[in-house]
């Protein structure tokens, strides 16, 4: 992915804000919404993607209707929070697809990961395996099972954020 700067004029901002929340629009539908011809819309969208302003498209799934699953936040505290100590942990979790999102955070724990597992046994086993690996330097793992989702993540509130020029 190339990270090239493109001027984020009003139309490019509308394209990004629209496809962020409605990635399944046809080019014609997107062009109509942002006020461009289909050809110009396609060229701008392609240029924004090639420049790295967005990376992919995905579809939100209603997991409750599709499969058995357990959602949880997993918090991790390392023995040391130096860059050298963080690297083995960050590399190890890249290979665990059930950890879908990993954020380095401030506070009592160093990382918070959003996860999805087939069941509690699988969640506990992976967390035990990670915590028990001495090469990762983990002091503590805390699992916060999600009981109910009161609100789904439906995209960033781009219309409320300050765009970079």
Output the pLDDT for position 50. Answer: 94
* Distance of alpha carbon 110 from alpha carbon 12, whole angstroms: 36
The top-level CATH class assigned to 10-59 is: mainly alpha
Query: By the 8 A CB rule, do 113 and 104 touch?
Result: no
pLDDT in tens, 58-105: 888 889 999 999 999 999 999 999 999 999 999 999 999 999 999 999
The pair of structure tokens assigned to 14 is: 């509308």
Asked if residue 1 has pLDDT above 60, the reply is: no
Question: Are both 10-59 and 63-145 of the same fold?
Answer: no
The pLDDT score that the predictor gives to residue 55 is 87
- How far is it, in rounded angstroms, from Cα 130 to Cα 122? 12
pLDDT-derived band at 57, boundaries 50, 70, 90: confident
- Compute the distance between CA of residue 78 and CA of residue 108 in angstroms, rounded to an integer: 10
Give the pLDDT of residue 35.
96
CB 126 within 8 A of CB 101: no
Structure tokens at 48: 């924004």
Measured CA to CA, the distance from residue 25 to residue 33 in angstroms comes to 10
Q: What is the pLDDT of residue 2?
A: 64
- 12 close to 6: Cβ distance less than 8 angstroms: yes
> Which CATH topology does 63-145 take?
Alpha-Beta Plaits (3.30.70)
Residue 48's pLDDT band, with cuts at 50, 70 and 90, is very high
Q: How far, in Å, CA of 99 to CA of 54, rounded?
A: 21
- The domain locations on the chain are 10-59, 63-145
Q: What is the mean pLDDT of residues 28-40?
A: 97
Question: CA-based Rg of the chain, rounded to a whole angstrom?
Answer: 20
Percentage of the chain lying above the pLDDT 70 cut: 99
Residue 138 burial (CB count, 10 A):
21
| Helix extents (H) in the chain | 10-21, 27-34, 38-50, 63-66, 83-93, 120-131
- Tell me the C-alpha distance between 31 and 25, whole Å: 10
Distance CA 7, CA 51 (A): 11
Q: What is the mean pLDDT of residues 2-20?
A: 90
Question: How confident is the model at residue 85, as a pLDDT?
Answer: 95
Beta pairing, strands 111-117 & 138-145 = unpaired
User: Which of 3-7, 10-14, 76-80 shows the lowest mean pLDDT across its residues?
Assistant: 3-7
């Amino acid at each position: 992915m190339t990270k090239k700067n493109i001027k984020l004029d009003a139309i490019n901002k509308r394209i990004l804000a629209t496809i962020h929340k409605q990635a399944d629009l046809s080019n014609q539908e997107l062009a109509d919404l942002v006020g461009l011809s289909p050809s110009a819309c396609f060229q701008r969208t392609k240029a924004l993607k090639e420049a790295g302003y967005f990376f992919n498209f995905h579809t939100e799934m209603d997991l409750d209707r599709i499969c058995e699953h357990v959602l949880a936040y997993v918090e991790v505290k390392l023995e040391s929070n130096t860059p050298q100590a963080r690297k083995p942990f960050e590399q190890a979790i890249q290979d665990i697809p059930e950890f879908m999102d990993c954020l380095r955070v401030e506070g009592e724990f160093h990382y918070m990961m959003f996860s999805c597992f087939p069941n509690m046994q699988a969640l506990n086993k992976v967390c035990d395996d990670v915590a028990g690996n001495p090469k990762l330097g983990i002091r503590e793992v805390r699992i916060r099972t999600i009981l109910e989702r009161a609100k789904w993540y439906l995209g960033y509130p781009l219309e409320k954020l300050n765009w970079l020029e």
